[in-house]
Structure 1
Amino acid sequence: MMKTLVTKHPLPLLLLLQLLQPLHFCQSYQGISNQDIDEYEEMREEFFGTGPPRPFTKKKFERFYIVEPGRPLYDSEYCRDVIMERNVHFRLKCVTEHYFVLSNFTEMQRICSSVFVPCKNGVRKCKRSRNIISGVYCNFTGGTTMPDCNYDTFERQGFVLVTCRWQNDIQSLIPDSINDIVTPSSE
């Protein structure tokens, strides 16, 4: 009798299965939804691909930056847990910093229509939210590759700085990344 490994997040499992599978065998995704297979194939192509990464989409932005209310943002393990759950990394290397916000995509997309402001590095290519938004700043503290990445968690409330990118298929600017959460007193 063969036991089946069940997981809440099938994408890392699919990646592991792909790495362990000899190259000449055919792919078999029994019991996994088409949506998870498509997401896995996209992640696999970005990880192993030699070309430029695929452009950011609404779905990716939501997965990488937007969190739901419920868990306290001040939880010291928040960043480590959510970064692992959302697979935030660059080719399995730990990211040095990351932001999560309690917001929705529509609100984040509205920021893209505001005026340019300086980003954290001083380059004037960010857009700033008009409203104060709650979020979390994750600062890398140790490890080198997933899953050994460790982070300090800092709850923040402030104006969100985002970079935006034109998306051809919807003919609109969409948020690409969060550059900073600026507290009103530090402006």
Structure 2
Amino acid sequence: MGTLLTMQPLPLLLLLLQPFPFQFLMLRKYLDLSPSQEEAFQDYLAELYTTGPTKPPTKESFQKDVIIDFERPLSDFNYCCGEILMKNVHTRLHCRKEHFFLGVEYKELQKLCKQRFVACKNGVKRCHRSLKLIEGVYCNLTDGVMMPDCRYQSFYKKGYVLITCRWQDDIRQMIPAHVNDILETHYQQ
């Protein structure tokens, strides 16, 4: 008399395999994608299911994930939940513990990369600080682990932005890589 493992190894193996990537492969043949869209889709799938380090941020990914327009009020308490889902902000489908959205033009942030270093919120002098006040929203994860179950608390902030920058080889420019914090100012006008 054998166990289930020795009697039915193939069905058990198929149960253990994750069907999610296979659904994407099946879906692809029904989509009418241009070659550039197909390539972008392949890159996205590779990024999701690779086991190595995540790709460093690019100019395009930073703009997509961080820069916002003012179509919705920034003080909306549900701002982060909706915007993170709409912009598809995650790290390999895992929720980010915190995230910032900024209401500023990308070129303004890119200029900050030429400023001298200041201390980040952890004390390490690797950040660049904005010279002007910038409006934004701070998102703090309150519930969930994987997309789309991420729930965030939204905090409207107006202050000086701290960012880190990195070199992007293909465009040969320093680009904003990460928003470290928004330092709020508390003064009367």
TM range (shorter): 0.7 to 0.9
Q: TM-score, normalised by structure 1?
A: 0.81
Divergent runs of 4+, >3 A:
16-19, 32-39
Counting aligned pairs with the same residue, the percent is 41
In the other structure, the counterpart of 2:6 is none
8 Å Cα contact 1:29/1:37 also seen in 2: no
What is the alpha-carbon distance in structure 1 between the residues aligned to residue 24 and residue 44 of structure 2?
Answer: 17
Query: Secondary structure, in 3 states, of the residue corresponding to 1:43?
Result: helix
Deviations 1:8-28 (A, max 9, x none): xxxxxxxx9744257xx7942
Is 2:23 aligned against 1:20?
yes
Equivalent position SS for 1:144: coil
Structure 1 residues 34, 81: CA separation in 2 closer, same or farther (over 3 Å shift)? farther
Which residue does 1:57 correspond to in 2? Answer: 58
Tell me if structure 2 keeps the 8 A contact 1:101–1:134.
Answer: yes
Q: How much does 1:185 deviate?
A: 3.5
User: Is the contact made by 1:160 and 1:178 (CA closer than 8 Å) also made in structure 2?
Assistant: yes
CA offsets, 1:129-187, max 9 Å, x none? Answer: 1111100000111112111110111111011111100112222210001111111249x
State how 1:137-152 maps to structure 2 within 5 Å: 137-152=138-153
Matched-pair contact (CA < 8 Å) for 1:157–1:183: yes
Cα deviation code 1:53-106 (max 9, x no counterpart): 223211100111001112000111110011111111122111111000001211
1:173–1:68 distance in 2 versus 1, CA, 3 Å: same
Question: Considering only CA atoms, is the larger Rg found in Structure 1 or Structure 2?
Answer: 2
CA RMSD of aligned residues (A): 2.3
Aligned pairs, number: 169
Give 1:7's aligned residue: none
Q: Letter of the aligned partner of 1:73 in structure 2?
A: L
Q: Distance in 2 between matches of 1:180 and 1:29?
A: 43
For residues 111-130 of structure 1, what are the alpha-carbon distances to aligned partners after superposition, in whole Å with 9 as ceiling and x for unaligned? 11111111111111011111
Q: Where does the alignment leave 5 or more consecutive residues of structure 1 unmatched? A: 1-15
Separation of aligned partners in 1, 2:69 and 2:28: 34
Q: TM-score, normalised by structure 2?
A: 0.81
In structure 2, the CA distance between the partners of 1:33 and 1:180, relative to structure 1 (3 Å rule), is farther
**What residue number does 2:155 align with?**
154
The answer for the alignment partner of 2:7 in structure 1 is none
Q: Decide whether the 8 Å contact of 1:98 with 1:137 is kept in 2.
A: yes
The one-letter code of the counterpart of 2:43 is E
Letter aligned with residue 20 of structure 1: Q
Q: Matched residue of 1:106: which SS?
A: helix
User: Structure 1 56/21 Cα, relative in aligned 2: closer, same or farther at 3 Å?
Assistant: closer
CA contact (8 A) 1:162 1:175 kept: yes
* Counterpart residue number, 2:76: 75
* Structure 2 segments unaligned to the other structure (5+ residues): 1-18
Following the alignment from structure 1 to structure 2, what is the Cα–Cα distance between the partners of residues 17 and 37? 18
- Residue 164 of structure 2 corresponds to 163
Q: For 2:23 and 2:138, locate their aligned partners in 1 and report how far apart those are by CA, in whole Å.
A: 35
